[in-house]
């Protein structure tokens, strides 16, 4: 039996707050989501459709916990395997999807980076009513890190920049996200110290 998510999805949760949460709250939510994606990645699972609407909130309080849902487009791959196929939601999908390239688990890192960006800025890096325009911007325009990012801590901006690398070979891994300074009280930790805990399964819901 699925747990009832009283807070609705993360888009609605943020909308009720005028898309403005503190960086401390963004960090808390970001850490929980990164743990969930790291857990999936440790089993070779790619979600392939991470977005605000696929993150459900346990309630509508400032202590609500996010849970990843909707595994309908997910795939399981081996460590060195690449796959192909246009899946996901335009505003959250990385450039390689629209170029028709082969890809791996790094697509989830990009999508998670878009969510981090939205939590910190209150809007998506690429957004338009016209999906073709989003794809055009995604393929041709630099990720916008405007003056508003001066209000964000350097550690937060640093990891988002690394997650939103358009060249997937330069994009950080989910392990590097987990070890970054922003998620670890200002100090990076060794990747070797990471371990996927079964407790993190509580941050996932199958539907």
**Residue closest to 50 by CA, chosen among 65, 30, 64:** 30
The model carries a pTM of 0.94
Q: What is the pLDDT of residue 153?
A: 97
Q: What is the pLDDT of residue 140?
A: 96
Q: What is the pLDDT of residue 190?
A: 80
Four-CA torsion 130, 137, 159, 199, nearest 10 degrees:
30
Contact yes or no for 60/7 (Cβ under 8 A)? yes
Active site residue 59: no
Domains of the chain, residue spans:
10-77+85-203
Contact yes or no for 93/109 (Cβ under 8 A)? no
Count of C-beta atoms within a 10 Å radius of residue 94:
25
Residue 149 backbone class (left: φ over 0; alpha: ψ -120 to 50; beta: rest)? alpha
Q: What is the pLDDT of residue 192?
A: 72
| Nearby residues of 8 by Cβ (< 8 Å), 6 or more positions away | 56, 57, 60
Q: What is the pLDDT of residue 24?
A: 97
Q: What string of pLDDT tens digits covers the 207 residues of the chain? A: 567 788 899 999 999 999 999 999 999 999 999 999 999 999 999 999 999 999 999 999 999 999 999 999 999 999 889 999 888 999 999 999 999 999 999 999 999 999 999 999 999 999 999 999 999 999 999 999 999 999 999 999 999 999 999 999 999 999 999 999 999 988 888 887 777 665 665 666 654
CATH C-level class of 10-77+85-203: mainly alpha
Could you say which of 9, 12, 18, 49 is catalytic? 49
Rounded distance, CA 175 to CA 180, Å? 9
C-alpha triplet 103, 45, 88: angle, nearest 5°: 55
Q: What is the pLDDT of residue 4?
A: 79
Q: What is the pLDDT of residue 126?
A: 97
């Amino acid at each position: 039996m699925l747990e009832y998510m009283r807070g609705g999805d993360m888009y609605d949760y943020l909308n009720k707050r005028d898309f403005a949460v503190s960086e401390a709250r963004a960090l808390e939510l970001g850490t929980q989501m990164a743990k969930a994606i790291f857990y999936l990645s440790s089993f070779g699972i790619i979600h392939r459709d991470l977005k605000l609407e696929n993150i459900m909130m346990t309630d509508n309080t400032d202590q609500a916990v996010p849970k990843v849902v909707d595994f309908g487009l997910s795939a399981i791959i081996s460590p060195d395997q690449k796959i192909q196929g246009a899946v996901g939601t335009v505003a959250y999908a990385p450039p390689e999807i629209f170029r028709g390239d082969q890809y791996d688990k790094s697509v989830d890192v990009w999508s998670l980076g878009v969510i981090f960006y939205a939590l910190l800025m209150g809007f998506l890096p690429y957004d338009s009513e016209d999906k073709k325009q989003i794809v055009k911007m995604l393929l041709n325009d630099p990720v916008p890190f405007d003056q508003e990012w001066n209000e964000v801590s350097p550690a937060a901006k640093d990891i988002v920049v690394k997650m939103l690398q358009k060249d997937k070979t330069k994009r950080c891994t989910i392990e590097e996200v987990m070890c970054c300074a922003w998620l670890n009280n200002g100090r990076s930790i060794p990747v070797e110290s990471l371990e996927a805990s079964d407790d993190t399964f509580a941050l996932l819901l199958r539907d």
